Chains A and B, each alone.
Chain A
Amino acid sequence: MLRDVPSPGPHQPLPAVVMNRPLLRQTLTIVGKDLRREWRSREILTTTIAFAVLLMVIFTFAFYHDDETISLVFPGILWIAIVFTGTLAVSRTFQHERDSDCLRALALIPGSQYSLYLGKFIVNLIFIAIFELALIPLLIFTFSIDVSGTLGLHILTVAVGTVGFAALGTLVSAMLVRNDLREILLPIVLYPLLIPLLIAAVQVTSAIVDGAGWPEVGSWIQAMIAMDLLYALLSLALFRWVLAAVE
């Protein structure tokens, strides 16, 4: 009869290797490693910031006609730029794990199926936040958007939308890490799943640009937070299977 790996009783202490493996420590170790790596290579941030600015310039020339159309085109341009550039960022965070084949080494570490997801999710959030810090002020300046009195709502909307995007993007990026067509498949798989969140984000941004406040957009933002939670919890639950399939 086969037995489960026994839980140690008080007379049989686990080796230190097994006892000290809190999720937080592993997650922060992965975040620290990825940020250090990015600081040295500047691979993701330089490409995403350049791509975001380029997108903004193209969209501005393509869609901007006069001040009357600002509230129509600004939300779309903002969220398309975030999603397209964010896709570039999330597609890269698992790439170096694949290149070095370190996914196999990580898969042998207990608890890594959760810490790897959380670590990559946080890293993606940081990268997206950095290019948003470059992109959004430029967009606001270019379109002369009046954010006085609505800045907090704008920041909240972008933050909530970004969390949902990073939560789902991290999972899908991991799913496709071994696929040779991953650059093509990532948007094809990811964007349909993001549609509810993106519709809400564009609606909220559009309403805020038109002068709406919390009473008008509060329920939309709450719905976005609910979607974020759903994406994050589902992704965390599924990541173990994804890792088992790609290791």
Chain B
Amino acid sequence: MPPRFPSQVILRGVCRAFGRTFALHRVDLTLQAGQAIGIVGDNGAGKSTLLDLLATTDRPTSGTIVYDDVSRQHFARRARHRIGWVSHHKLLYDELTARENLLFFARMYGVDNPADRVASWLERVGLAADADRRVRNFSRGMTQRLTIARALIHNPQLLLFDEPATGLDQQGGRFIVDLLRTLRDRGRIVILVTHDFDLLDGLVDRLVILRRGQITYDHPVEENKRIIDVYRTHA
């Protein structure tokens, strides 16, 4: 499996229905390596459903999702470790320390030299001094930094970030932008779902607006144009 796999994710006519309600309806989207894509929309627009589908933890009702030329089913079975996911939930164990949480996931993924990798990530997310404190005692912002380290500890290629700046202060927000920009420049596919338009400015190359499960806007971000203005025009 090439280290850059998948370099492209293609969604064609993807629908996801819950009963008679469509959370997503005929979504066509192509995601490329080295791109940071911002996905915005009102509550219930289908943003989280889209991330669930990309993470293969949910199945489309109809339509296809292809990772390079690998089907969703095969990707789900054999290549899910290529995904790094920051969801609404922290996906961390409260009773364990920050270091123990990262070590647990690093060992589960079979990361080489897990202790060194964990120490490096703790340093990177600014938690080295709190590495041996239990997550239960962390502030929201510290937990979010650890969540991001947990999602990236295994060096994934497809990065799904759902409101990654939740609970972070200004410095934390800048850290996220710098981190995601670096990852994008290293050829990762970065998908960012957020309501924080300041976070998107200067980071995403492309903006996708979802409205009631349908894509109403999908264009590269123009220089000198604020994303909030684009959103107000097209949402």
A residues neighboring B (CB under 8 Å): 1-6, 8, 12, 14-22, 25-26, 29-30, 33, 36-37, 40-41, 96, 100-102, 104-110, 112, 115, 247
Contact = CB atoms under 8 A, between A and B. Distances in A.
B155 A104 contact: no
B111 A16 contact: yes
B73 to A, nearest CB: 9
A3 B69 contact: yes
User: Secondary structure of the B side of the interface?
Assistant: loop
Contact of B109 (A1, A17, A100, A247): A17
Nearest to A116: B108
27 contacts: A3-B74, A5-B79, A6-B1, A15-B155, A17-B81, A17-B109, A18-B110, A19-B110, A20-B112, A25-B107, A26-B110, A96-B93, A100-B91, A100-B92, A101-B90, A101-B91, A102-B93, A104-B85, A104-B87, A104-B89, A105-B91, A105-B105, A108-B80, A108-B83, A109-B108, A110-B78, A112-B108
Nearest to B108: A109
B171 interface: no
A102 B112 CA distance: 22
Contacts of A112: 108
B71 interface: yes
A15 to B, nearest CB: 6
Contacts of B5: 5
Q: Which of B89, B95, B110 has the most CB of A within 10 A?
A: B110
B96 interface: yes
A2 to B, nearest CB: 4
Nearest to B5: A5
Contacts of A29: 104, 107-108
A192 to B, nearest CB: 32
B3 A15 contact: yes
User: Secondary structure of the A side of the interface?
Assistant: helix
Interface of B: 1-3, 5, 55, 57, 66, 69-71, 74-75, 78-81, 83, 85, 87, 89-96, 100, 104-105, 107-112, 134, 150, 154-155
Contacts of B107: 25-26, 29
B93 A104 contact: no
Contacts of A2: 66, 69-71, 74
Contacts of B150: 105
B91 A110 contact: no
A17 to B, nearest CB: 5
B154 A17 contact: yes
Contact of A16 (B94, B95, B112): B112
A45 B55 CA distance: 36
Contact of A41 (B80, B95, B104, B111): B95
Contact of A5 (B74, B93, B105): B74
A247 B57 contact: yes
B57 A37 contact: no
A5 B110 contact: no
A104 B57 contact: yes
Contacts of B79: 5
B6 to A, nearest CB: 10
Contacts of B96: 33, 36-37
